[in-house]
Amino acid sequence: MYKMLRRAYRELHKNGGKPPTLSVLDKLVIALQYWREYRTYRHIAFDYAVGKSAIGNAVIWVENTLMKSGLFNLPSKRILQTDEIEIVLIDVTEQPIERPKRGRKNGIQERKNNIL
């Protein structure tokens, strides 16, 4: 991955340009952290002392570059449907949503008691 990204970066900046705030290796590590650890852009940006947009641009650039190479693409939907799948793994990380309880002690009733 690193060699492919380095080659693409050299081709993109062969005529020069603004010096990067993040190196190609940093961009790759950022993308891998984002995909694997589900970290937010804000947390990754804090580690590298850059803005959230720089992290977002790095992840998008790495994704697009690796997909254009053709080596890291998933097979098409048609090919996946024709093959027999024996094992399916699903990552189901859910967080419960806390909602307020309904009952007599709502804000309206308590406000009436406090006013009088």
Answer whether residue 66 is part of any domain: yes
Residue indicated by tokens 């970066």: 9
Answer whether residue 29 is part of any domain: yes
The Cα–Cα gap between 27 and 54 comes to 10
Question: Taking Cα atoms as reference points, which of 30, 24, 29, 31 lies closest to residue 8?
Answer: 24
Answer whether residue 59 is part of any domain: yes
- Which structural domain range is residue 57 located in? 2-10+23-75
Q: Which residues contact 6 (CB under 8 A, 6 or more apart)?
A: 24
Q: Which residue has the higher pLDDT, 23 or 107?
A: 23
Question: CA of 65: how far to CAs of 5, 100, 106, 109, 110, in Å?
Answer: 7, 45, 54, 59, 59
Answer whether residue 113 is part of any domain: no
pTM over cut 0.85: no
The pLDDT, as a whole number, for residue 97 is 73
> How many folded domains does the chain comprise?
1
Reported as a single tens digit per residue, the pLDDT across 5-28 is 999 998 888 888 788 889 999 999
pLDDT bin (cut points 50, 70, 90) of residue 45 is very high
The pLDDT, as a whole number, for residue 31 is 93
Residue 97 has, within 13 A of its CA and on its CB side, a CA count of 1
